[in-house]
Structure 1
Amino acid sequence: MSISARLSIAWESSPKPDEKTSTMVLSTPSERFVDVRPLLTPRGDFPFEWAFAGSARLLAPDGSQIEFSHDFFDSEYIRRWCECRKLELAGQTVQYPLKSDIPKDIGHFETLQDGTRRETGAMHNAASGKVEQYEERWVTLDPWKTTPQHKVQAGSTVAAESRLFDVKNGGEGRFVRVGNWAQGVFWNKDNLDTPISVLRVFFDGHWNPVLQHGDCSMFPVGENPAVGATISRGPVTWEVLE
């Protein structure tokens, strides 16, 4: 399990490294993750560069090449789906996006001397509307010592308890806890205006929200049941998978 934070990203069309988000990725031992990228300067009704969840698969034994799939949950897909649904309700003929069309991303990783990681690859750049080459810098955080005010880089090995909850009934979503941190994403298909809820919380004696968007009452914050258990929050049922 791990917590990663993005330090910067540079694009083919904008090669100067920059970071306009507070991106954090929480991953479980089976490499299932929740990746949330809130904008530092929010704009519009969805103040995120991206919010998604999926799984990672090693393509190289040393971890230098990883495939990321996010057809499990993808904010870009959900927002397009909701726009199609609105048009359909207004009487128009639409063609819904397909989850099978959500591309997988392949990142090539290199560990630098300072312990941070450089990722290179190609993916869709929302700013240009094109698939472009990119370079990202990432740091692995200590899940116990990192606070909302201070990032602490993890040592070579840091043991931390984790939990993974996936929605079983009542929508689609995932909630992951690693150490003192947890974050989740949820899709309410009955809400076309604010379909996506996002929550990031930190434990300092109590679970306190660091980031929240939409209705976050369904997330199983503070729960620590055994694998295989289910938890209900209103109309939403979660299952503990890890």
Structure 2
Amino acid sequence: MASISIREHIRWLPGPPEENTSTIVLTSPGRRFVDIRIFLRPGAARARVSSPDGGVLAETAMTTGNGAPDACSHVARAKLTRTVVDQSLPMATLSPSDVDWAFAGYSRSSEPREDGSRHAAWLHVVDSRTPDHSERVVIDEADVYPYRDGEDDGRSRALERGRMPHPDTGVVTDYEELWVDVEPQAAAPSPAEKARCVVLELGGEDGAAGTRGMVVCLGRRCQGVVRAGVEFALEQWVWEEEGGWRRENHVGGLSLPCAEAIEDKDLEIGGKVERHGLVWTVMELGEV
């Protein structure tokens, strides 16, 4: 099932929830994903970022906790008091220091347990923090729980719980991430009003050693990452009611075929897309 997921907060236990990034994950029906986490620019009072489904701008709330019981019956977390802070997301061309983490690959999950939770794993084939190397494949795993906090806005939420190195200390630490899913919407009026999904992949026989990449376009969002040796790059595009598609963020000197994935009407499964000497393969194509 295709999804657009936004992270609402991360919590490094036993600390309070916080969020200092714009984190958006696009996942295709074939479970290929691109996860991009851009630091919000320090500032004050409101974080205005393009909503994942395009169009209006969304506010990102910073959160603090006071250690009260969780609203979810089987998961403990801190009670939140929400303070909106003004942190404008950088636009267009960014520097590598603006990127918290960006990666892409394949995901899988177990069948739901009795409490509705499931075990999930994400295999990173491209990672901003890890050079491409067959002996250093990155796999992260976690348990994902359905989440209900009493506020029904019609969107599905999930609480992810796992362990990974803390970015400040390097010590492997328990964490929680709260995610909300946004239903993909068509990027332009269509008779069926279905969102389009395109996945391009670079690697294997199509790429030189150490060259891997993935682009996922889903509804009104398109984003991709690519690594060639020590070089890494990413792009994010968004479709808006006024103006159509625009490139929202770009990092690095490498080029990605996001525009081709968005605009090329002649794509077909197994077809090739060449971008600056790199040949990408169309892995998925359809409507969701």
* Global fold match (TM > 0.5): yes
Higher alpha-carbon deviation: 195-204 or 60-69:
60-69
Q: Contact 1:71/1:99 (CA < 8 Å) preserved in 2?
A: no
Q: Which residue of structure 2 aligns with residue 160 of structure 1?
A: 195
| Distance across 2 between alignment mates of 1:99 and 1:77 | 8
| Percent identity of paired positions between Structure 1 and Structure 2 | 29
Q: Does residue 183 in structure 1 map to residue 231 in structure 2?
A: no
Unaligned runs of 5+ in 2: 42-89, 188-192
Rg larger in structure? 2
Q: What is the Cα deviation at residue 44 of structure 1?
A: 7.2
Q: What is the Cα deviation at residue 28 of structure 1?
A: 0.4
**Residues matched between the structures, number:** 209
| Distance across 1 between alignment mates of 2:197 and 2:246 | 18
SS at match of 1:138: strand
Q: What is the Cα deviation at residue 175 of structure 1?
A: 0.2
Q: Which residue of structure 2 aligns with residue 197 of structure 1?
A: 233
| Distance across 2 between alignment mates of 1:5 and 1:105 | 18
Aligned partner (choices 163, 172, 182) of residue 141 of structure 1? 182
Determine which structure has greater relative contact order: mean sequence separation of CA pairs < 8 Å that are 6+ residues apart, divided by chain length.
2
| Distance across 1 between alignment mates of 2:274 and 2:134 | 30
Higher alpha-carbon deviation: 38-47 or 170-179:
38-47
SS at match of 2:129: helix
Which string of whole-angstrom CA distances, capped at 9 and with x for unpartnered residues, describes residues 149-201 of structure 1? xxxxxxxxx95221110013252100000001100001122xx4xx1111010
Q: Which residue of structure 1 aligns with residue 8 of structure 2?
A: 7
Q: Which residue of structure 2 aligns with residue 84 of structure 1?
A: none
Q: Does residue 50 in structure 1 map to residue 85 in structure 2?
A: no
* Pairing of 1:101-140 with structure 2 (within 5 A): 102-112=138-148, 113=150, 114=152, 115-140=156-181
State TM-score, norm by structure 2: 0.65
Q: Which residue of structure 2 aligns with residue 232 of structure 1?
A: 274
Amino acid aligned to 1:25: V
- Alpha carbons of structure 1 residues 97 and 234: separation in structure 2 relative to 1, 3 Å: closer
RMSD value, Cα = 2.6
| Distance across 2 between alignment mates of 1:108 and 1:118 | 6
State TM-score, norm by structure 1: 0.77
Amino acid aligned to 1:234: H
- Alpha carbons of structure 1 residues 174 and 226: separation in structure 2 relative to 1, 3 Å: same
Which string of whole-angstrom CA distances, capped at 9 and with x for unpartnered residues, describes residues 68-116 of structure 1? 22331121112xx7xxxxxxxxxxxxxx89324x243223222315332
Higher alpha-carbon deviation: 230-239 or 214-223:
214-223
- Alpha carbons of structure 1 residues 98 and 142: separation in structure 2 relative to 1, 3 Å: same
| Distance across 2 between alignment mates of 1:211 and 1:182 | 11
Amino acid aligned to 2:135: L
Amino acid aligned to 1:175: V
